[in-house]
Structure 1
Amino acid sequence: MNIENFLRSRHGAATTGTLLTAGFTRRMLTKAVRDGVVNRLHRGVYTSREADPDVVAAFRADGMLTCVSAARFYRLWTLEDPGSLHLSCSTGQARRGVVHHGVCVHPAHPYLPVAGVADVLIHALRCLPELAALVMVQSAVSQALLSTDFLKSKLPGNRNGRTRGTLDLVLPRADSLLEVLAHTHFTRAGLRVRMHVDVPGVGEVDCLVNECLIVELDGGTHLEPKQVKKDQYRNNAGMRGGLLTLHYYYGDVVHQPERMVGEVLAILRNREAGRFGPFRYIAVAPPST
């Protein structure tokens, strides 16, 4: 592997030590810089022309990407683009356009200037809005990168009470960020929710609310014609079993949760009022002649 390809496998940047360990010599590095194949960012760091700008910024600041800026390196779910760069800098000095986080105390990424997943999540829990932090933690737990018990042990005392409360919202299993968000919104509305329930004749459903309403959380694949047809047959099977079904998408769960919860509550109220019960037909005598 040449230097350019090696850097590409490292998001376009690497330290001198990493390159030497990989078998490249200082003479090879000097030649690569002279030939314009790579750039020397500063002493001890080399980059390619297509280097990841966040990785380059972290190296330049002598810091580590953390919080939401590090999420993609661990394939963690996020709700929105981070906007500003989130860094933990060794100098501790504030930098323009950067959200500065405290020191990292857990093992970092093996070759990138990225904080370890434990520090990334602790910083996110203390920095981001509750639901944004929740989906990151849920993603890490779902990948078995760490446990909520481990994170709780790292967040002692009254000042971390709110962050520990967020950890209580993490589900044993969630296949998408929509599931943990929907579960949170429904339970906070006072609803009884079971996730990943196997319904006879229907199969596994995302949510069963109050034991009578199926809520499915649909991603992009559910818009494909074959999947739409399958979902409709599942809806029919649920109706035959006495269960109503509602479907919601990313925009509903993430951007309009109040409307989603309001619709679910309205359906449940209608059911309790008997509006989904059988019609009563009244026999009308024929007119007398």
Structure 2
Amino acid sequence: MPRIRLVRCCTMLAMDRKLAAAMARVNGVAHIQDLLGSGFTRYQVAALHRSGQLLRPRVGWYVTPTHDSAVIRAVRAGGVLDCVSAAASYGLPVPRDHRVHVGLAPNAARLRATDDGYRRVAAGDDNGIVRHWGAPQPRGQFRVGLLDALSTALGCVDRDWAVGMVDAALYGVDATGLRPISGTEFARLSAAVSPDKRRILERCSDKAESVLESVLRVRLEDAGLNPAEQVVVGRSRVDFMIDGWLVIECDGRLHAESERFASDRARDAQLAQRNLRVLRFTYAQIVDDWPGTLRTILAVLGEGRPALR
């Protein structure tokens, strides 16, 4: 390899490593001043942008191309991920919402559309974004803290889902490595929110293993029922039990594996031998058709406990 070409390759490799280190320090979202402070010149930054190694969603702001699209849209809007968008980035379950929830400083101005880094919009004119005005975020952060995201969500999403999100944070999300929030953190969250939000937190539990269980528990309680949660019956543990004999299970997981499907049905048979009635409901039944699901539960309760065989 000619010496000039070898020097050029080494220079490019060193530049790539330098860029990777600089962007890692700011979690993939950098202001031009961050890059200049890392030793890049404005000419080099412009060259990195032209080559596609950096995206510029907003004048003066640069993002790694591999960053989540929601982060890029939040930067373009002039803020950071907040509310359910931030919660989702931590791995928490959130309700379906195509919009990006963006946290902005109280004095945020020069608002931009999320689909165009240069077109100005008035607050509320962009249907692809939900703006939350709060405390200014330091550079180097692309999202608010987890407790701040939960605090905002308590006043933004339906109460059932808000409870489910906090429950998931209390239980921890193993798939994403999110550790459970501590009792101290939960107390700090409760102390920082309004009385209305605090009443929602009072409905939370660290026993729920899925957001579907949280939603079902809250809706059962609202219906005047008193479900016992995570009840141990013999060698099994059931999601909920009402009046000591009606077992309610959430089938939110996909039962693609025949072994898991067979295991659940074998357990149902064992529960039936203990004179217990088992009802299983899917995500769609609990979330999208709750009135029909509740009618089924009340009808079975009205029939009374099955006769002992």
Pair in the same fold by TM > 0.5: yes
Measured in 1, the distance between the counterparts of 2:65 and 2:292 equals 47
**Residues 1:277 and 2:307 are matched in the alignment:** yes
Measured in 2, the distance between the counterparts of 1:182 and 1:72 equals 21
- CA-CA distance at 1:86 after TM superposition: 2.0
Matched with 2:211 is 177
Measured in 2, the distance between the counterparts of 1:263 and 1:10 equals 53
Q: Is the 8 A contact 1:104 1:119 kept in 2?
A: no
Amino acid at match of 2:72: V
Matched with 2:62 is 46
Q: What SS does the aligned partner of 1:246 have? A: strand
Amino acid at match of 1:113: F
Amino acid at match of 2:188: F
Matched with 1:154 is 192
Measured in 2, the distance between the counterparts of 1:68 and 1:61 equals 16
Measured in 1, the distance between the counterparts of 2:188 and 2:24 equals 34
Matched with 2:281 is 248
- CA-CA distance at 1:20 after TM superposition: 7.2
**Residues 1:204 and 2:204 are matched in the alignment:** no
Measured in 1, the distance between the counterparts of 2:24 and 2:285 equals 38
Q: Is the 8 A contact 1:11 1:52 kept in 2?
A: no
Matched with 2:91 is 75
Matched with 1:87 is 102
Q: In 2 relative to 1, CA 46–237 (structure 1 residues): closer, same or farther, beyond 3 Å?
A: same
**Residues 1:218 and 2:251 are matched in the alignment:** yes
Q: Which protein shows a greater Rg? A: 1
Matched with 2:11 is none
Q: In 2 relative to 1, CA 19–60 (structure 1 residues): closer, same or farther, beyond 3 Å?
A: same
Corresponding residue to 2:167 among 118, 130, 138: 138
Across the aligned residues of Structure 1 and Structure 2, the Cα RMSD in angstroms comes to: 3.1
125-134 or 110-119, which moves further after superposition?
Answer: 110-119
Q: Is the 8 A contact 2:168 2:211 kept in 1?
A: yes
Q: Is the 8 A contact 2:251 2:281 kept in 1?
A: yes
Matched with 1:195 is 229
Amino acid at match of 1:87: V
- CA-CA distance at 1:127 after TM superposition: 2.0
219-228 or 41-50, which moves further after superposition?
Answer: 41-50
Measured in 1, the distance between the counterparts of 2:292 and 2:255 equals 21
Measured in 2, the distance between the counterparts of 1:246 and 1:110 equals 51
Measured in 1, the distance between the counterparts of 2:138 and 2:295 equals 43
Q: Is the 8 A contact 1:124 1:133 kept in 2?
A: yes
- CA-CA distance at 1:4 after TM superposition: 6.6
11-20 or 95-104, which moves further after superposition?
Answer: 11-20
Matched with 2:118 is none
Amino acid at match of 1:71: A
**Residues 1:100 and 2:131 are matched in the alignment:** yes
- CA-CA distance at 1:267 after TM superposition: 1.0
Q: Which has the higher contact order (CA 8 A, sep 6+)?
A: 2
Corresponding residue to 1:125 among 145, 154, 161: 154
Measured in 1, the distance between the counterparts of 2:247 and 2:77 equals 50
Measured in 1, the distance between the counterparts of 2:295 and 2:76 equals 49
Measured in 2, the distance between the counterparts of 1:255 and 1:170 equals 21
Q: In 2 relative to 1, CA 58–233 (structure 1 residues): closer, same or farther, beyond 3 Å?
A: same
Return the TM-score normalized by structure 1. 0.79
Cα shift readout 1:118-167 (whole Å, capped 9, x = no counterpart): 22111111222212322222222222235442222012xxxx33222211
Q: Is the 8 A contact 1:206 1:215 kept in 2?
A: yes
Q: Is the 8 A contact 2:238 2:248 kept in 1?
A: yes
Structure 1, unaligned runs of 5 or more: 280-289
92-101 or 240-249, which moves further after superposition?
Answer: 92-101
Cα shift readout 1:187-233 (whole Å, capped 9, x = no counterpart): 222222111111015x1111111110111112334342111111111
Return the TM-score normalized by structure 2. 0.74
Measured in 1, the distance between the counterparts of 2:252 and 2:33 equals 43
Equivalent pairs counted in the alignment come to: 267
Q: Is the 8 A contact 2:275 2:307 kept in 1?
A: no
